[in-house]
Structure formats: C-alpha cells, structure tokens
Structure 1
Amino acid sequence: MDAGQSRFVMTALVLALVAGAVVGLSLGALGGGGSVLAVPALIYLLGFSPQQATTASLLIVVTTSVTALFAHARAGAVRWRLGALFAASGVLPAAIVGLVAHRVPAAVSTGAFAVIAAVAAVLMLRRRSREAGAVRPGRAAGAGAGLGALTGFLGVGGGFLTVPALVGVLAVPMSAAVGTSLLVITVNAAAAFVTRVGTVPAVNWALVGPFAATALLGAWDGKRLAAKVDGLILQRVFAVALLGVAAFMVVDAVRSA
C-alpha cells in the first residue's frame, strides 16, 4: 500500500469513527435518527453505494439501539408491552418489503425518504408531549405494521417515525417514547437487515465495524444527555434535524433523477 492509499484509508477510518459517534449520540438521546444520519454519512463520506449504505446502516442501528435500549431500560423509560406490540406488528412487513426494496431506483427511494422525514418533522414541531392515555391495541398494531414496511423500504430503523407515532398517535410522553422507540427500532431493523444482506454487493465491513463501535459509545453519552435536557427541547431539535436531512435529500433526489 503506497502513501496515497494509506492516507485515504486513514481518512476513511477517521470519518467512520466521527460519523459513528454522532449516530450513536442521536440514537441515545432521541430514540431515533441514527440511520437518517448513518445512510448519508456512508454514501457521501465513505463512498458506499445506496444499497450498501442502507444495509450497513441497519446493522449499525441494530447494535447501537440495543445498547441505548439497555440504558433507557435501566432508567425505567421503556413501555415494554406497547413496544413489543409495535415491533411484532412491524416484523413481517419489514422483512417482506426488504426483499424487494433493492429494485426501487435510488432517486425514488431518496425522494420518498425525504417526504416522510419532512412530514414527521412537521408533526413533531406542531405537537407537544401529552400525558399518557390508554393504549388502543388496534391503533398500535396498525402503526407498527406501517412503520415496519417503511423500515424495509427505506433501509432505516424507523425511529424518526416511531417517536412521532408514539407521541402524537398514542399520547406517550417523550421521555418514554424515546426508550420504547429503541425497542421497535431494534426488532424492525434486524428483520430488514436479514432480508437485505443477501441482495446487495459486498459491503466494506472494515469501515462498518469502527463506525458501529463509536456509535455504541455515543449511545451512552446520548442517554445521559436525554436525562439532562427537557423532552420538548429534544423533540424540537429532532424535528429541525429531520427538516435539514429532508431538504438535503430532496436536492440529491432531483440531481439523481
């Protein structure tokens, strides 16, 4: 390996470490948004193809979400029954849609992702956290199935949609929605990854590994941040970040079309 190649490898490794830390911080603090950040980072910073990035992102999000979930569970901030219902409803749709998602043109999936992210952000900006109400199993199952299908289609964990659904549709407080979202993310992303991994070209796991490692560390810091910052502030920060990602992806989709 010559000097130029060595510098390229080291630069890619540093970018993977930094991007992983940011993804983990997002997941730990907000209960979502990890794959929203991971997919663009893998594509634009590390040179992954969209198919490789979405598949690698799912693995990163699964490992990071498990770590963040453990931290939130220790604090008693997970609605296990509701999260299990959400997750169980989304597993099959995530797996089925994941099998065919690689056939969708990149510009179409990017545009769809941007629209959904923007809608979720607007909903979170308009809604305030409410007191928890009675859980309606039918509504929870329907929302879980829809989110699972979107996870399989977009190659993301779905936390950026799960949190608004828990807060806005099921009236779960933001503090509990974050932890519960991590349970849903873990199950749905794992199901989508299993079906996607055999449909994409070889992934550079040598970069994915360090990315995931720093994401795990960032998730613990994110949990500590969530304990110190008001839930409504986190909700608004999350929404603004989503709007920025959505705008960037719209531009990218138009250029790619």
Structure 2
Amino acid sequence: MMQLLGYFLAACIGISLGLMGGGGSVLAVPILVYVMGVDPKSAIAMTLFIVGIVSAVGLVPHWRQGNINLKKAGIFGSATMVGAFLGAQLTRLPFITGTVQLLLFAVMMLIAAIFMIRKSGKAIAHQANEPHLEDYPAPVCRYCWLWLLTEGLGIGVLTGLVGVGGGFAIVPALVLLGKTEMKEAVGTSLVIIVMNAIAGFLGYFGQADVVFDWHLMVNFTFVASLGILLGGYSGRYFNAKQLQKGFGYFLLAVAAFILFQQRDRLPRLTTLPETTVAIAQQK
C-alpha cells in the first residue's frame, strides 16, 4: 500500500510540474524517505536521477516552441554542473550526514515556498498567466555575467547537496543577470536542471553509504513522466499562478513536517562530551 501511495504521489509530482512549470520535483525527496522508506542520502542521490529525466521530458514542448537558448544554457549550466558535482562530493565529509542534508533540504523548501507564494500573489494581482519581469527585483550589478556564473556555482552546490533542481532560482537569474526573455528563461532553465542532475548524480557514484534502487528509480520516473504529460495537457484548464499559492503553502507544511521529524536528531549544544562527564563523575 505504501508503494502504491508513493507512485500516486510521483504522478502528482509530474502533474504539478506540468501545471506550474516547476516546484513539484522538491517533493521527490520526502516521498522517497517517508513513504518509500529510502535512506535520506540515497533518496537525495536518486532524486537527482528522477528530476533529470522528468525535466528532460518536460523540455520537449519548450524545444518545439523554440524557447531554449543553448548558448546561455551552456554558459550558466557549466557553472551549475561544476557546483552540483562539488556539492555531491561534499556529502563524503563525515559531518554531512543524511540528517544534515534533510535539514538543508527543508530550508530550501521554505525558501522555494515563500518565493512561490510571493510570485503567485503578484501574478494574481495583474491577472496574468505567464510570469512577468516585474515579479523579480531589478538587478544591481555592473558585471552581471560574472554574478550569473557565481550564482550558478552556488545553485549547483545546493543541487548536489540536497537534490533540488533549483528552477525557482535559475529562472530569475537568467532573466535578470542573463537578460533572457521570460518564456525562453523557463525553457532554458529545464536544460540547466537536467545538466545539474547529471553532474550531481555522477558525484554520488562510489559512495559507500549511497544505495541506488534502480527498480524504484525507473518506476518512479516513469510515473512522474506520465504525470507531467497529463499536467501539461490539463494546464489550459487551470490558472497556474493561482495554483502556485496553494502549492507554496503545501511546501511550507511539508518543510515543517521534515523539521519536526528531525528534531530529535539535531545536535544538542548543551550536552557535555563523554570525557567531560566521566571526569566530573570521578571527582
């Protein structure tokens, strides 16, 4: 029953991606961990595979519409790929445990949720179905291309660490720093997400504490891909920006749930080291 529930939720991820163009993939990690029973570190590595394939499927209509700038995808994506691989390599450090990754993931979910809620509120205010440039603040940089590469590196590191595509940060970076038209930025961001996922996924190979359940990964990806096609077809009947606000609040609830589940695993600063306790007992 839990596996059936997990696959149903995988379809929901795809539908949300098809309806809103992003955001739904962040649910893959909590579904794998809390529904499918996968270890957090393995779940994050597996999510990169799932996000990469599903984003590639969602890329098809944008490619047909000519909303992809391969040059900017190559420039920005090269930086994010380096960051994603480095982020995956950082998980080899002993203090980067599955718990730490889940906490970072929950923080990223909070940021993504707040961003979606704010952006959807502005979109509803001017009754538009497509994101507008005024949804984002104006850039204040002299060398925007350098900031673009720097932000790309940072986004990539977070992708490797916590398994999120980072589309909510890639799109405004392309618009503001890369001076890309909005529709083109959305399509180009999917190319970059695929590049991130590949680099991050490769970065997890060879780690002893990461186990890839290929059967689960393929099935999960297949169901989510069917969902994104259904969501893309159904998108004409819904106002995507109105859906974003409700989905943003849902992400807030999921992030709060993850933080609550991990509360007992947080390091307690007030706990004395064992050696200190032993010395005290001897005295």
TM-score class, shorter: 0.7 to 0.9
TM-score computed with the length of structure 1 as normaliser: 0.81
Q: Of 15, 40, 44, which residue of structure 1 is paired with 2:5?
A: 15
1:34-90 CA distances to partner (integer Å, 9 max, x unpaired)? 441111111111111001111111111111111001122223343444333321111
Q: Is the 8 A contact 1:34 1:61 kept in 2?
A: no
Aligned counterparts, 1:138-153, within 5 A: 138-153=146-161
Residue identity in the other structure for 1:118:
L
TM-score computed with the length of structure 2 as normaliser: 0.75
- Structure holding more helix per residue: 1
Aligned counterparts, 1:41-80, within 5 A: 41-80=31-70
1:173 positional shift: 6.7
Q: Percent identity?
A: 34
Residue identity in the other structure for 1:38:
A
Q: Of 91, 110, 114, which residue of structure 1 is paired with 2:106?
A: 114
Residue identity in the other structure for 1:218:
G
Q: Distance in 2 between matches of 1:210 and 1:130?
A: 36
Q: Distance in 2 between matches of 1:170 and 1:120?
A: 21
Aligned equivalent of 2:133:
131
Query: Helix, strand or coil: the match of 2:133?
Result: coil
1:221 positional shift: 1.9
Q: Is the 8 A contact 2:83 2:152 kept in 1?
A: no
Name whichever of 198-207 and 91-100 sits farther off: 198-207
Q: Is the 8 A contact 2:16 2:24 kept in 1?
A: yes
1:176 positional shift: 4.4
Unaligned runs of 5+ in 2: 123-130, 267-283
1:241 is the counterpart of 2:233: no
Residue identity in the other structure for 2:218:
G
Q: CA RMSD in A?
A: 2.9
Aligned residues: 247
Query: Helix, strand or coil: the match of 2:114?
Result: helix
1:210 positional shift: 1.2
Aligned equivalent of 1:218:
227
Aligned equivalent of 1:185:
193
Q: Is the 8 A contact 1:30 1:178 kept in 2?
A: no
Q: Is the 8 A contact 2:19 2:240 kept in 1?
A: no
Name whichever of 234-243 and 188-197 sits farther off: 234-243
Query: Helix, strand or coil: the match of 1:47?
Result: coil
Q: Is the 8 A contact 1:13 1:207 kept in 2?
A: no
Aligned equivalent of 2:265:
256
Residue identity in the other structure for 2:133:
E
Aligned equivalent of 1:8:
none
Residue identity in the other structure for 2:32:
L
Q: Distance in 2 between matches of 1:122 and 1:30?
A: 15
Q: Distance in 2 between matches of 1:239 and 1:175?
A: 21
Q: Distance in 2 between matches of 1:253 and 1:116?
A: 15
Q: Distance in 2 between matches of 1:58 and 1:214?
A: 16
1:255 positional shift: 3.4
Q: Distance in 1 between matches of 2:233 and 2:75?
A: 27
